Structure 1
Amino acid sequence: MRNDWGGQSFPHPPGRLPIVGDGRGIDPSRPLHSMVGHAARLGEPIFEIQVFDQKFVFVASAELAAEMCDEQRFGKSLSPALEALRDFAGDGLFTARTEEPNWRLAHDLLRPAFTRAAMQSYHPIMLETLAELFAYWERLDGPVDVSRDMTKLTLETLARAALSRDFASFEGTEPHPFIAAMVTALTSSQRVATLSGAPGSRLALRRIRKRQQVAQDYVDELLDDIIAARRAEPPSEHDLLGIMLSAKHPETGEQLDDTNIRHQILTFLVAGHETTSGALSFVLYYLSRHPEALAAAHAEADEVLGGDRDAEPTFEQVARFRHLRRVLDEALRLWPTAPAFSRSPRETLTLSTGHVMRPQDWAIVLLPSVHRDQGVWGEDAEEFDPDRFLPENSRGRMPHSYKPWGTGERSCIGRQFAQHESMLVLARLLHRYEITGDPDYQLDIAERLTIVPKGFELRLTPRTPSAGPATEPVDPEPGTEPVDAGGACPFSGAQRDGADAAR
């Protein structure tokens, strides 16, 4: 993963030192904030951070990010953090290299898991799990820890939909041990990536990997037991695990082996629940700080669901929460929970900046900076404004300027699941409760490979919705309707730039 770019240099923060390079300007507990701060101060489309003998090159402008999202010229590369995460997640969909056979095989086999018919089968699971969260909340006194409880919810939902497995997340206040193991793995990967080029780091890396191995052993045993138990049952493709165990590639007849199935399960559990819980938490934070947006969300939930606070949205109704969808999009614009992705060219080329980039070179697209590019988002790009995503305001926006789900064929295969779950959860929660945040709380973000608000609490008060029946269905806005991909993955490389901008 050496990234010398043929000796080319880029703008960098002042004060670079011998050996440590720019490391003194990085907060090890908040590296993302450090990079976003450097991007804002430098004001350059591309810049570098030198840490010991490793060069990290960051893309901070929407225009250059769009250039690197050209699938004909660029593809996904693995950053040092993802390379380190391979020790934990192997060649799962998120950490696999595109040229690895298991990536293509798993991607093709799992397409049926995200069609419209599959999403309809997950809908009642999402409703049931959410009802359990509400019952759990009503047993508690005082405010709720939002990120903790959104993590419980999304892990439990995904485990039930993917594995038909109950993790008993609502039986106590502590999260399932899988969460602790996952956090250890993610933070360890981040630290390994940072220290791998440091002189004399061998002992520290050995200690980090030893702690990671404990988490690895626990997770491997847990998932291997689940796989073995399902192998002993009659074949069924009613969930993701069933598909992976029994499906054969339609052209080659190939199947995934049990080790790769474990990697894929782990990838879905880690990447799938962590990003969605963070997105829900950021949405609730911003709604608690913006009374007009919150009032509009309450009104929309009442309009669709009517006067019964126990009403549950049907599958078709989820697409009608248009204001909530804009709120979600705006929260993910400001804080994309998967905040970066890396790109390399398919062959040597010259960037619009004049730099020559070879296939072995990589750059990290820094999404919080790209999503705040004032040339695209205006002078108020730092402000929360869901109306940015109204169709009339999105029309004509630069393609690829909004990428919270990644890009191209390596974009999030489970995006449809995450969006549907998020809309359902937010609509039911806001229909049922008034939410009140601590006015003294300052947004604090926990950084792993994903990001999530830390220490954010809400007080929930039972709410009486506006009386009256739900309105008649209307056609959803473009880009918000459930996708029927006809058996194909709706979020593969065939994404439309216009849909990206019009959300």
Structure 2
Amino acid sequence: MAETVTRTAAQVPLPKGFRGAGQGWPELSRIPHPPHRLPLLGDVLGVNRRTPLQDSMRLGTRLGPIFRRKVFGNEFVFVWGAALAADMADESRFAKHVGLGVANLRPVAGDGLFTAYNHEPNWQLAHDVLAPGFSREAMEGYHGMMLAVAGRLTDRWDRELSAGRWVDVPGDMTKLTLETIARTGFGHDFGSFERNRPHPFVTAMIGTLTYAQRLNSVPGPLAPLLLRQAARRNAADIAHLNSTVDTLVEERRASGRADGDLLDRMLETAHPETGERLSAENVRRQVITFLVAGHETTSGALSFALHYLALHPEIAARAAAEVDRVWGDTPAPGYDQVAKLRYVRRVLDESLRLWPTAPAFAREALRDTVLGGEHPMRRGGWALVLTAMLHRDPEVWGPDPERFDPDRFEAKAARGRAPHTFKPFGTGARACIGRQFALHEATLVLGLLLRRYTLRADPDYRLRVTERLTLMPDGLRLRLERRAPAPAPVSVPEAPASEGGGCPVRGAGD
């Protein structure tokens, strides 16, 4: 997989005052936009500022695979057609663009891996230093801690089951994934499962994500006036995130421990070629990036998967049967046994298809080019790829893309699809560095829960999706029943991994 970015071609400074994507599209008028555009305000009729992604998905269905929206004088171009998205995945012509809500997170994450501009040197330094932390050897080391945290979740769910209570799926998945990344990456325990309310770090994190999204819903010059109180809260949230991470780092330095985890790599590892080390400020930014991105998206992916499993008991039964067959009555499945859950992994992939928890990514042109042979783009011009719509393109996924069907990711079906049609982790050199970690954790947890419980949906619940740059089911709760003991172990022959073996996303970063 590609693990570097070209520092020369990717150093594309945006023109002064360059906010909207429209300036980079010489023939913008050829790209459709919503009707009833208003002077000054643009395409704001019918827009809900709390659900901009879902509004854009509805517009994309009506306007086609490339369209534009104008908001307060800034024109933005959206792409979701598979052929156009594949063209934008060309690393020789396009690179990651840090814009919209992602750039709004720079006050807290700075030049961390997710929010760094392509030309900032700390991105490549941190990437090269931290990449070994996601090797197979490192992942095997994390597996035991993942099991331990999952045990805390099942203890909690056993108590809820005994009391006859519903389980709060998004809340408990957030606790699970925060504790997992905190313990495996930084040797820290937030004590999430011992709290009745979310940990203050989670509250502050949600606050910063929500504020970053709100900044896109008001005119830039008016933001200080319209969001004055929210800005004060955001400053307090950032201060809390910084102080929490500073304390975590100080405790590690004072302890003299060498855990060999991500924090050790940040503090002690020099770049293998240049000898450079991460600065103290950048260490803080990287820790915040991993704690936030490392748990927020995975908790959403697990929550959506559990929602669909509860809605489709026949799929849940098939997945549970696979767990019983592959794991048997082993109390603690080994690292390699997780990868053998082929169908459970397909459940997860199908959930990520319908609701990729990082639902879009932006790409900018490295030079003057023509997108899809039809739309001229100037150097620095950019567009937002709507992953959640790309994953619904009927030319790729058939006439019923809204239907939940894990067999879309059966090995033969996956091999038959064109590259760059499934992108839950972004694309290219800037694709999510922790995708293997997230997929192993999520598959393990789904396997453990399916082996232990039968999931019962709330018949009155209709999926509502909360947007805070990432996506999460809102108000999702499930009823649990204990399953009968698993059958005796059965020998299962090895099968080739789908989606190209080691890399979990076909074409995403390889």
Same fold (TM over 0.5): yes
Deviation at 1:380, TM superposition (A): 1.1
CA contact (8 A) 1:154 1:274 kept: yes
User: Which residue does 2:172 correspond to in 1?
Assistant: 149
Length-normalised TM-score, structure 1:
0.93
Change (3 A) 1:496 1:372: closer
**SS state of the match for residue 384, structure 2?**
strand
Q: Find the aligned partners of 2:447 and 2:351 in 1 and give their Cα distance.
A: 16
Match of 2:297 among 267, 275, 278: 275
Q: Find the aligned partners of 1:27 and 1:496 in 2 and give their Cα distance.
A: 34
Deviation at 1:88, TM superposition (A): 1.5
Q: Which runs of 5+ in 1 are unaligned?
A: 484-489
User: Which residue does 2:52 correspond to in 1?
Assistant: 31
User: Which residue does 1:436 correspond to in 2?
Assistant: 456
CA contact (8 A) 1:71 1:408 kept: yes
Q: Could you report, residue by residue, the CA deviation over 1:81-114 in whole angstroms, capped at 9, with x for unpaired residues?
A: 1111101211110000121000000000001100
Deviation at 1:476, TM superposition (A): 4.1
User: Which residue does 1:377 correspond to in 2?
Assistant: 397
Q: Find the aligned partners of 1:261 and 1:396 in 2 and give their Cα distance.
A: 42
Give the partner amino acid of 1:166.
Answer: D
Q: Could you report, residue by residue, the CA deviation over 1:368-408 in whole angstroms, capped at 9, with x for unpaired residues?
A: 11110011111011111111111222222111011001000
Q: Could you report, residue by residue, the CA deviation over 1:234-287 in whole angstroms, capped at 9, with x for unpaired residues?
A: 362511001100000011110001110111011111111011000001111111
Q: Find the aligned partners of 1:77 and 1:331 in 2 and give their Cα distance.
A: 26
**SS state of the match for residue 271, structure 2?**
coil
CA contact (8 A) 2:361 2:385 kept: yes
**SS state of the match for residue 96, structure 2?**
strand
CA contact (8 A) 2:145 2:183 kept: yes
Match of 1:160 among 164, 183, 189: 183
Q: Could you report, residue by residue, the CA deviation over 1:112-153 in whole angstroms, capped at 9, with x for unpaired residues?
A: 100011000000000000101111222333010101000000
Match of 2:155 among 130, 135, 140: 135
Match of 1:2 among 6, 19, 23: 19
Q: Find the aligned partners of 2:38 and 2:508 in 1 and give their Cα distance.
A: 45
Q: Find the aligned partners of 2:480 and 2:424 in 1 and give their Cα distance.
A: 29
Tell me the number of residue pairs that the alignment of Structure 1 and Structure 2 aligns: 486
Give the partner amino acid of 1:2.
Answer: R
CA contact (8 A) 1:317 1:473 kept: no
Q: Find the aligned partners of 1:438 and 1:375 in 2 and give their Cα distance.
A: 34
**SS state of the match for residue 193, structure 2?**
coil
Q: Find the aligned partners of 1:220 and 1:275 in 2 and give their Cα distance.
A: 21
User: Which residue does 1:360 correspond to in 2?
Assistant: 380
Q: How does 1:36-435 map onto structure 2 within 5 Å?
A: 36-42=57-63, 44-140=64-160, 141=163, 142-197=165-220, 200-234=222-256, 236=258, 238-306=260-328, 308=329, 311-352=331-372, 354-435=374-455
Q: Find the aligned partners of 2:508 and 2:56 in 1 and give their Cα distance.
A: 29
Q: Which runs of 5+ in 2 are unaligned?
A: 1-17
Deviation at 1:497, TM superposition (A): 3.2
Deviates more, 1:129-138 or 1:58-67: 129-138
Change (3 A) 1:196 1:235: farther
Change (3 A) 1:177 1:480: farther
- Identical positions, percent: 50
Give the partner amino acid of 1:175.
Answer: P
Q: Find the aligned partners of 1:146 and 1:28 in 2 and give their Cα distance.
A: 25
Is 1:457 paired with 2:477?
yes
Q: Find the aligned partners of 1:497 and 1:159 in 2 and give their Cα distance.
A: 29
Change (3 A) 1:275 1:300: same
CA contact (8 A) 1:320 1:476 kept: no
Q: Could you report, residue by residue, the CA deviation over 1:406-455 in whole angstroms, capped at 9, with x for unpaired residues?
A: 00000010001001001100001100111101112100011011001011
Q: Find the aligned partners of 1:187 and 1:238 in 2 and give their Cα distance.
A: 34
Deviates more, 1:232-241 or 1:355-364: 232-241
Deviation at 1:226, TM superposition (A): 1.3
Length-normalised TM-score, structure 2:
0.92
Deviation at 1:353, TM superposition (A): 5.6
Q: Find the aligned partners of 2:272 and 2:24 in 1 and give their Cα distance.
A: 41
Deviates more, 1:4-13 or 1:121-130: 4-13
CA contact (8 A) 2:410 2:498 kept: no
Give the partner amino acid of 2:190.
Answer: F
Give the partner amino acid of 1:440.
Answer: D
